Chains A and B, each alone.
Chain A
Amino acid sequence: MSIICKSSDGRIKLYCKGADTAILKRLAKDQGGIAEISVKHMEEFAHAGFRTLCIAEREIDEAEFQSWASRFRVASVALDDRDEKLAEAADSIEREMVLLGVTAVEDKLQDGVQETVTLLAQAGIKLWVLTGDKLETAVAIGLACKLLVDSMHLFLLCESALNSVPQMLHNMLDEARQRAHARTSSGVDASDMAVIIEGDSLSVALEENNRMNFLELCQECRTVVCCRVSPLQKALVTQLVKENNLAVTLAIGDGANDVAMIRAAHIGIGISGREGMAAVLASDYAIGQFRFLARLLLIHGRWSYKRNKLLVMYAFYKNIVCVMGHCYLAFYSGLSAQSLYPTALISTYNLFWTSLPTMVLSTLDQDVHQLTAESNPQLYAETQGEKIQSFFKEAGYWFLSGFWHSVVVFFFPLASIETMGGNGMLNGIFNLGVAAYTLCVVIVNLKIVFCTNSFTVLSIFVVWIVSVLSYFIFLPVISLMGQTIGSFNDLSDVGFKLYSSASFWLLLLLGVFTAFLPDWTFSKLLRQCTPEDYQICQEIEHGWRDGLYSENSGFVGPLVRRPPEGSEERNSQDSAMLELVSFPTRKVRPSQSDSEELPSRRRMTWREVLSEVELESISRAEMEQGWARRVSNGFEVVTRHSDVTTVPRPLEEGPLPVLRLRTA
């Protein structure tokens, strides 16, 4: 990105900033070695986790500027291919520049990022990093966030040999499959492979022939880090996963360069912060800090999923119970579509007697406490991996329950309400209808009670008082009104007649019991024999622990999973095992054993491989501060950013650039 300005003494200058590869290509030839030194310094900055930029300038004379300006103006109003023409025009002036210097910006990690990343990984969510930074910066940040662990197996696709990328992908995929197969057969979960790919290689990998290989490779790995990606490529990668993986993608970002990715993903989350509101405005959800993502997903996302599922299933269920009565009556009324219930009751069903309990259930019901949900990310797995079969099972259970209840609602009043007690008078069709309707309202509201996980005053109130009790008050009221108001004539006096007949009340009791006997048995059986995780957590919340009850109940801390006996703890491995399947420009230093703990074939640490830093050159100061470990079970923190600011490394002086703007 550049800007052309005219100073007060008439000189026209072009100032440009950008990534090192872009700027270095455009420098004039006689820089006197400043470029190499700058590159070296930039690499050191990047290792330390800084984000680096190069600044360059160029002085332009008047004539050249005028001709270029006219070309640029023409390009900016071009009717077709405007972007290409503008890029071309800009490219023509951004040449022969003089390097001014290098900037390094510390972009501190927010609080809680490591914990969030760990939680999300435990919840079964795969995390990919797409950044515009350099490779070294991205790796440093990944190590700091615990996305990348020292013990991971790395697949590296960097920029140097673009035409061998397809072949490399092929080889890497085979190897990844082999490793995954070997891993699962030995019973250890969590594949520990990672892919690191740079921008140009990424564009080759996203081509038609290579996409699926790339995607498969990434699926086998735990983490994918893409460096030097442009915003367009971020969106393309997201789309690749979204379309082919059949997984739900969530994109989170905080800057304007993340907008394309946020919009491409299923769920886009913007972090509102220092980089402006562009990401927030384009996103579906906006949060204040990255660590809130854990709460958003594990607590609210999980509850929302369960409540939504419950709401949809329940809505179908309650309408089946109500409406199937009409279908059954059709067989008794000559298929003439006579309605079982009077219209006044039909219209109030979804409006009054079943609406509030549904709303309260689907907005306020919590199956486990929020702290339990946050501490146990494996509970999140209940919302993942929904296949069609499990949907049909769930829907089948609800529909079956609905049909059985509708049978009870229709046939039990049919069989039991005929005469109305001692006065010999008989019931008409609307007596039957109202009796069936009453049974329906009671059963459907009781089903809400069955499905409720957390009983609060509000939920009990809306079910029993607002819905059921007010229905029982409504019925005689409207029976009274039916004597005078024309549209309620069907209901005239029906309520009173029903209330005064003992068989109606006995029928209610019987109907409720019969309807819920299968439901209740089935759910209790499932809970006894194959309990779900959240049910165990509910029991623990209530104070039960391994069969013993104690009074101090509360939320459930992280349930420690006992590892299966006999598995090796892989964390005890030494430093990174890195088998390079890439091309040979990155050299691997042969072993020079420095300590007894290292095996004879020395394995390079990540930092060493990526930076070709020789072991001997790591200064003593660094080792004392823990910046590098040769024998380790993984870098815990590659860089301690707070240390960096307190101990700045001295820069090497270089020759001054040829042209330098003298500030006044």
Chain B
Amino acid sequence: MRPSPLLSMWGGTNISLSLGFFLPLLLVQVVEIVDEYQTACIPSSYTNNDERVQYIQDVNTNKLCTRTLTVPKHMKQPIFVYYQLENYYQNHRRYVKSRSDKQLLNGDSTSSTDTETCKPEQFLGELPIIPCGLIAWSLFNDTYSFTSGGHAITINKKGISWKSDREHKFGSFYPQNFPNNLPNNQNGSLIGGASLDPNVSLNENEDLIVWMRTAALPTFRKLYGRIDQNLNAHTQLSVQISNNYNTYSFDGKKKLVLSTTSWLGGKNDFLGVAYITVGSFCIFLALAFFLLHWKHPRPLGDTKYSLSRGHKVGKPVAN
């Protein structure tokens, strides 16, 4: 027998609503602190972006700045520290292409044809850059250190990248000829981001590994580290930020985020809200179909609706 449309509607409603009720309940527990600091961390004597760019690019200026954060609710460990960038198109095609996975795995034994996609960050003069490409070159280099009530809070920076990346994507090779390691404008190179410690191999440099997993949207977060202790409500956190990264050339924003997670992930209401919305739509449609069946029933298989030659009918042919 043909199932009644009402039954299917009711089924869908039940699923949707039940999930929709559960999801928001679970996400209520996620606590998040967001702090935007790119304007606040530059002395106010620099008023427009060009001056700020000069400030950032000048190696002699003091880039340290202190911010205060208040914990709104009790945050259970592990608390994840992220840096959030906005207006930063890590999903631009030229940017995403600009890497060589072969070189990341094999180091200096890759040929120059494999690193073709890394142009313009392929060679430093005549020597090959390891790791090559724009993604590695633009590595984020702000650092954060937290203190609370005089005690330093340790940030665990181990295990913040994907395990499979550490094992299968990055080899144990050391950075060579990295342009950011040189002073600015030597040999015509520009500093794009963080310099890489030549004594730390690629697969141990978790910041690089996290940064190289390119984000999907222009507003993105990347994991900086993990705090393995609880923070009580109304604690005052003091953060010392070294504001090294230049986002002022393109009017980007930098934010520091502390967040707990649940089984569903970080703070994201979308699934819960969507389930409730879809569920209510289902209820509404179920009611509408019920009314329709009640007021204008159509007996199934009724031959009065069959086509009469030459006419297209929806209503019965003869009354």
Contact = CB atoms under 8 A, between A and B. Distances in A.
Contact of B265 (A501, A513, A546, A548): A501
Q: Chain A CB within 10 Å — which of B92, B270, B281 has the most?
A: B270
B152 to A, nearest CB: 21
A336 B92 contact: yes
A322 to B, nearest CB: 18
A656 interface: no
Interface string B154-183: 000000111011011100000000000000
Q: Chain A CB within 10 Å — which of B8, B223, B301, B305 has the most?
A: B301
B300 A418 contact: no
A561 B270 contact: no
A517 B161 CA distance: 39
B264 interface: yes
B181 to A, nearest CB: 26
Contact of B317 (A339, A419, A539, A561): A561
B187 interface: no
B69 to A, nearest CB: 18
Contacts of B274: 412, 415-416, 510, 514
Contact of A540 (B263, B278, B292, B301): B301
A451 interface: no
Nearest to A523: B5
A502 B263 contact: yes
Contacts of B126: none
B246 interface: no
A506 interface: yes
A13 interface: no
A540 to B, nearest CB: 4
B110 to A, nearest CB: 11
Contact of B261 (A339, A419, A507, A540): A419
Interface of B: 1-2, 5, 8, 12, 15-16, 19, 23, 78, 80, 82, 89-94, 96, 101-102, 160-162, 164-165, 167-169, 213-218, 220-223, 226, 259, 261-266, 268, 270-271, 274-275, 278, 281-282, 285, 289, 292-293, 296, 298-310, 314, 317-318
B305 A492 contact: no
Interface in A416-455: 416, 418-429, 431-433
A562 B5 CA distance: 30
Interface in A496-522: 496-497, 501-503, 506-507, 509-510, 513-514, 517, 520-521
A510 B285 CA distance: 17
A416 B78 CA distance: 22
A128 B154 CA distance: 94
Contact of B271 (A416, A421, A561): A416
Contacts of B223: 424-426
Nearest 6 interchain pairs by C-beta: A547-B299, A530-B314, A544-B301, A493-B164, A419-B265, A483-B168
A338 interface: yes
Contacts of A333: 89, 91-93, 218
A659 B12 CA distance: 95
Given A329-B91, A493-B162, A419 B268 contact: yes
A337 B278 CA distance: 32
Interface in A115-136: 122, 124
Contacts of B293: 528
Contacts of A492: 164-165, 168-169
Interface of A: 122, 124, 189-190, 329, 332-334, 336-339, 378-379, 381, 412, 414-416, 418-429, 431-433, 483-484, 486, 489, 492-493, 496-497, 501-503, 506-507, 509-510, 513-514, 517, 520-521, 524-525, 528-531, 533, 536, 539-540, 542-549, 559-562, 564-565
B268 A416 contact: yes
B301 A536 contact: yes
18 contacts: A332-B216, A333-B218, A381-B309, A419-B266, A424-B160, A424-B261, A424-B266, A428-B216, A483-B164, A493-B162, A510-B271, A510-B278, A513-B15, A531-B305, A531-B314, A544-B2, A546-B301, A561-B308
A309 B48 CA distance: 61
B306 A536 contact: yes
Q: Chain B CB within 10 Å — which of A423, A528, A559 has the most?
A: A423
Nearest to A190: B309
Nearest to B217: A332
Contact of B15 (A334, A509, A549): A509
A493 B161 CA distance: 12
B222 A426 contact: yes
B100 to A, nearest CB: 10
Contact of A513 (B162, B278, B292): B278
Contacts of B298: 528-529, 531
A370 B289 CA distance: 33
Contacts of B218: 332-334
A524 B168 contact: no
Contacts of A190: 309
Contact of A542 (B2, B80, B165, B271): B2
A378 B309 contact: yes
Contacts of A509: 15, 19
A456 B96 CA distance: 45
B265 A420 contact: yes
A414 B266 CA distance: 14
Nearest to B292: A528
Contacts of A530: 314
A481 B126 CA distance: 34
B93 A338 contact: yes
A432 B90 CA distance: 14
A130 to B, nearest CB: 25
Nearest to B161: A425
Given A492-B169, A564-B318, A521 B93 contact: no
Q: Chain A CB within 10 Å — which of B91, B259, B271, B300 has the most?
A: B300
Nearest to A545: B301
A561 B305 CA distance: 10
Contacts of B268: 415-416, 418-419, 503
A421 B264 contact: yes
A67 B128 CA distance: 99
A628 B206 CA distance: 104
B189 to A, nearest CB: 24
Nearest to A490: B101
B278 A189 contact: no
Contacts of A493: 162, 164-165, 168
A358 B266 CA distance: 40
A415 B310 contact: no
A378 B168 contact: no
Contacts of A426: 82, 213, 215, 220-223
A544 B300 contact: yes
A427 B216 contact: yes
Q: Chain A CB within 10 Å — which of B2, B91, B93, B216 has the most?
A: B216
A338 to B, nearest CB: 4
Given A333-B93, A489-B169, A529 B296 contact: yes
B214 A421 contact: no
A530 B96 CA distance: 52
A337 B160 CA distance: 30
Contacts of B318: 562, 564-565
A617 B216 CA distance: 97
B162 A497 contact: yes
Q: Chain B CB within 10 Å — which of A419, A424, A525 has the most?
A: A424
A314 B94 CA distance: 34
Contacts of A533: 305-307
Contacts of A422: 261-263
Contacts of B304: 562
A277 to B, nearest CB: 37
